[in-house]
Amino acid sequence: MRQKKFMLSEDMIPQKWYNIQADMPVKPMPMLDPQTKKPVTVEDLSGLFCRECSRQELNQTDRWIDIPEEVRQRYANYRCTPLVRAYGLEEALGTPAHIYFKNESVSPIGSHKLNSALAQAYYCKQEGVTNVTTETGAGQWGAALSYAAKVFGLEAAVYQVKISYEQKPYRKSIMQVFGALVTPSPSMSTRAGKDILTRTPNHQGSLGTAISEAVELARMTPGCKYTLGSVMNHVTLHQTVIGLEAEKQMELAGEYPDIVIGCFGGGSNFGGIAFPFMRHNFSGERNTRFIAAEPASCPKLTKGRFEYDFGDEAGYTPLLPMFTLGHDFQPSNIHAGGLRYHGAGTIVSQLLKDGYMDAVDFEQKETFEAGCTFARTEGIIPAPESCHAIAAAIREALECKETGQKKTILFCLSGHGLIDMAAYDQYLAGNIH
């Protein structure tokens, strides 16, 4: 029987995360304090984030960072995740390419987000924090943080983008099962929310508005820290468990990827799968191509500008050097809520600028077509976000079919779509164009 899944046992869960900043030929430019225009320090960041995450954020020297044993133990609930050869998809496409996916949808909350939520909640607990707050788009990050907070005995308050709160009611219920307080954003519970609603009474919310509200709550509440599920360097650092495992699993499969693909919201699952492989490009041993797949309606990598911008709508975060559509950009209400963010993480932005990776964008319809092809051949209904990675993998595989090249393609299946069936209903009804 041909081998379908490449598995690693629990004791193979990585001991360290990979900090790509240490190896980058050109380091990311510093984040700036918006008032003083001086580079932010660990001290500045730790007003908002927990101290250890603030350190990791600015760490440009340590290539490997220890994963705390308590976090590895929680990872063991679902890691190592499977690496799967997508024979069904290959056959349906008639491609000579070999397609593999790293299945992060098997985590208890259904996406890769838990990899960082557990780490952040653990550090907060260690540092004596009692409450955590955050924003969430589709609800994946909010669900992950709510669960991780419960695991480590913290209270969680989550601002969910209003459109997602309404379109994806079960994510709210999941967060509430884990004991979190969930508020649709923009809300009247913060000054930032009130300002936004006064200017635009029917505001549907965006990650930017929800970030502003969560940041304000963290600033106003003693013992409360803010957490983020994407964009920041420390988040992507935690996600490198994906690529580090995948690297070992590709070895078990006797292959090395020519192309590595991730969908792109703020860059954490993309960086998570890509960076461990990219280190071999830096050293000249390999020449892998890295592709970030984003929605055509929120194309910060393909159409944005590289400049200093705020991470949130109200301008509370430091200024970040990144590819951005502008912090006041209003993305349309696509179903891939996790990809509706105006900017890209600073590491990925620098790597794209320096030509170490590529970006492509897709219309929503093509991503659902790809998602359905994948579901019908591999039996997993992918998250609308993940459908972008699948669309990119299919495009590459079809190009291999044209040219007869037998490339090895690896993509990250960042999550499943079982709580996103309303989106699939709309696609099947022909309402997505």
Ligand X SMILES: *Cc1c(COP(=O)(O)O)cnc(C)c1O
To the nearest 10°, the Cα dihedral for 3, 9, 15, 20?
20
Nearer to ligand X (CB atom), residue 50 or residue 138: 138
If binding is defined by CB under 6 A, does position 367 make contact with ligand X? no
174 or 253: whose CB is closer to ligand X?
Answer: 174
- The CB-of-338 to ligand X minimum distance in angstroms stands at 3
Map tokens 């912090």 to a residue.
327
Q: Is 414 in the site for ligand X (CB under 6 A)?
A: yes
CA distance linking residue 140 with residue 168, whole number of Å: 11
Least Cβ distance, residue 323 to ligand X (angstroms):
13
Q: In this structure, are residues 40 and 33 in contact, taking their beta carbons and an 8 Å threshold?
A: yes
DSSP 3: -
Q: Interface with ligand X by CB under 6 A: which range of 81-89, 205-213, 264-272, 327-335?
A: 264-272
Q: Minimum distance between the CB of residue 140 and ligand X, rounded to whole angstroms?
A: 3
Judged by CB under 6 A, the stretch of 67-75, 83-91, 136-144, 391-399 that binds ligand X is: 136-144
The piece of 35-43, 121-129, 265-273, 317-325 that touches ligand X (CB under 6 A) is 265-273
Angle between helices 346-353 and 268-282 (to 10 degrees): 50
For residues 58 to 97, the per-residue mask of contacts with ligand X, x marking binding by CB under 6 A and - elsewhere, is ----------------------------------------
Q: How far apart, in whole angstroms, are the C-alpha atoms of residue 112 and residue 250?
A: 19
Which CB sits closer to ligand X, 54 or 140? 140
The least CB distance from residue 117 to ligand X, in Å, is 11
CA distance 31 to 212: 18
If binding means CB under 6 A, how many residues of this protein chain bind ligand X?
Answer: 21
Please report whether residue 415 would count as binding ligand X according to CB under 6 A.
yes
In this complex, which beta carbon is closest to ligand X, that of residue 135 or of residue 247?
A: 135
Binding flags for ligand X, 337-366, as an x/- string (CB under 6 A): -xx---------------------------
CA atoms within 13 A on the CB side of 334: 30
Whole-angstrom distance, CA of residue 64 vs CA of residue 67? 9
Other C-beta atoms within 10 Å of 78: how many? Answer: 14
Q: What is the β-pairing status of strands 224-226 and 305-310? A: unpaired
Out of 95, 103, 140, 364, the only residue in the binding site for ligand X (CB under 6 A) is 140
Residue 253 or 259: the one with the smaller Cβ distance to ligand X is 259
Does the footprint of ligand X cover residue 265 (CB under 6 A)?
A: yes
If one asks whether residue 268 binds ligand X (CB under 6 A), the answer comes out as yes
CB contact at 8 A, 337 and 360: no
> DSSP assignment of 130-181, as one string?
-EEEEEESSSHHHHHHHHHHHHTT-EEEEEEEHHHHHH-HHHHHHHHHTT-E
For the segment 371-390, give every residue that binds ligand X (CB under 6 A): 383, 385-386
Going by the DSSP 8-state scheme, the letter that residue 36 receives in this structure is T
The span from the CA of 102 to the CA of 318, in Å, is 33
Q: Please report how close the Cβ of residue 155 comes to ligand X at its closest, in angstroms.
A: 22
Are the beta carbons of 172 and 139 closer than 8 angstroms?
yes
Q: Residue 312 Cβ, how far from ligand X at the closest point, in Å?
A: 15
Q: Which of residues 180-209 bind ligand X (CB under 6 A)?
A: none
Residue span binding ligand X (CB under 6 A) among the ranges 135-143, 201-209, 217-225, 371-379: 135-143
**Where do the H-state alpha helices sit in 221-345?**
233-252, 268-282, 300-303
One-letter amino acid for residue 318 of the chain: P
In sequence order, the 6+-apart residues with CB closer than 8 A to the CB of 176 are 182
For the chain, the distance separating the N- and C-terminal CA atoms, rounded to the nearest angstrom, is 41
The H or E element that residue 413 is part of is strand 408-413
Closest to ligand X by CB, 186 or 384: 384
Chain residues 97-116 in contact with ligand X, contact rule CB under 6 A: 111, 113
Angle separating helix axes 364-378 and 421-428, nearest 10 degrees = 110
Q: Considering beta carbons, is residue 140 or 212 the nearer one to ligand X?
A: 140
Return the DSSP state at 268. H
**Is there binding between residue 240 and ligand X (CB under 6 A)?**
no
Does the protein bind ligand X through residue 227 (CB under 6 A)?
no
323 lines the binding site for ligand X (CB under 6 A): no
Closer to ligand X by CB, 230 or 373: give it. 230
Choices 16-24, 84-92, 138-146, 279-287 (CB under 6 A): range interacting with ligand X: 138-146
User: What does the binding site for ligand X look like in residue numbers (CB under 6 A)?
Assistant: 111, 113, 138, 140-141, 230, 263-270, 338-339, 383, 385-386, 414-415
